[in-house]
């Protein structure tokens, strides 16, 4: 009996950490790609980091994150364009209800198309463009309180990894941006990076990003 319990707990932790690793990796890659494709945003982020932690020898710490609003905006904009779970997790109607004139029978499985909501031109200005500025002094956060922006879901089933992801991903990407220049092979134009997506449960970049890091001298 004890062995069965231990095995169940092991499988549970494996699924939790496995899911977190997959989505964290995908989002970090998308964020780095968007910054490479948008050099003005990349430079603005580097300037902000330098002001907070100093030159290239400075180390970004978790305690610095509240002082980096543009980094937070870049993270949120990445989640808007590339939500790690574009259909969120399946939900079920516990009772028959009506939503926006549609009758939803009891026990209906419901999928929320977060990808489409986040690219709806009725909600977002120029929705296909990477514009972190839209999240500066914005009402939107990651807590699932605004139905226009639900990268981690909402309510009791909001992603349990949101607090960790909201710290780890910006911290990791900011450190990479601050310490290294990123060079595309064969002097490739960043605008020509293939942005095609592939969907499992998590939405990945179809072609993995291939870049060459060069330690920055500043």
Q: 191-206 pLDDT, tens per residue?
A: 999 999 998 778 899 9
d(CA 177, CA 28): 12
Gap between the terminal Cα atoms of the chain = 59
Q: Give kind and range of the element (H or E) at residue 198.
A: strand 197-199
Is residue 164 within 8 A of residue 111, CB to CB? The reply is no
pLDDT range class, residue 128, cuts 50, 70, 90 = very high
Give 7's pLDDT tier (boundaries 50, 70, 90). Answer: very low
Strands 109-110 and 91-92, sheet pairing = antiparallel
Exposed/middle/buried for 45, CB within 10 Å: 0-12, 13-18, 19+?
buried
Q: Is the pLDDT of residue 28 over 90?
A: yes
Has residue 15 got a pLDDT over 70? no
**Is-above-0.85 flag for pTM?**
yes
pLDDT at 216: 87
Q: How confident is the model over 15-44, as a mean pLDDT?
A: 85
pLDDT digits (tens, 9 = 90+) for 147-194: 899 999 888 778 888 888 999 999 999 999 999 999 999 989 999 999
Greater model confidence, 4 or 90: 90
Report DSSP state, residue 64.
Answer: G
Q: What is the average per-residue pLDDT within 77-85?
A: 94
Stretch 54-71: mean pLDDT:
90
Distance, CA of 99 to CA of 40 (rounded, Å): 42
pLDDT band, residue 141 (cuts 50/70/90) = confident
């Amino acid at each position: 009996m004890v062995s069965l319990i231990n095995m169940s707990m092991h499988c549970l932790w494996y699924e939790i950490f496995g899911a977190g690793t997959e989505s964290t990796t995908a989002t970090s890659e998308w964020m780095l790609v968007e910054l490479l494709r948008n050099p003005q945003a990349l430079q603005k982020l580097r300037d902000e980091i330098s002001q907070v932690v100093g030159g290239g020898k400075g180390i970004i710490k978790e305690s610095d994150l509240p002082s980096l609003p543009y980094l937070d905006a870049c993270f949120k904009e990445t989640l808007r364009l590339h939500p790690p779970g574009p259909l969120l997790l399946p939900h079920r109607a516990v009772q028959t209800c009506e939503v926006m004139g549609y009758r939803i029978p009891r026990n209906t499985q419901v999928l929320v198309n977060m990808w489409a909501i986040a690219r709806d031109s009725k909600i977002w200005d120029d929705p296909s463009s990477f514009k972190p500025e839209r999240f500066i002094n914005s009402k939107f956060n990651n807590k699932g309180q605004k139905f226009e922006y639900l990268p981690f879901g909402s309510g009791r089933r909001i992603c349990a990894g949101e607090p960790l992801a909201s710290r780890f991903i910006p911290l990791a990407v900011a450190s990479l941006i601050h310490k290294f220049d990123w060079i595309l092979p064969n002097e490739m134009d960043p605008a020509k990076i293939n942005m095609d997506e592939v969907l499992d449960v998590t939405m990945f970049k179809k072609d993995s990003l291939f870049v060459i890091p060069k330690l920055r001298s500043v």
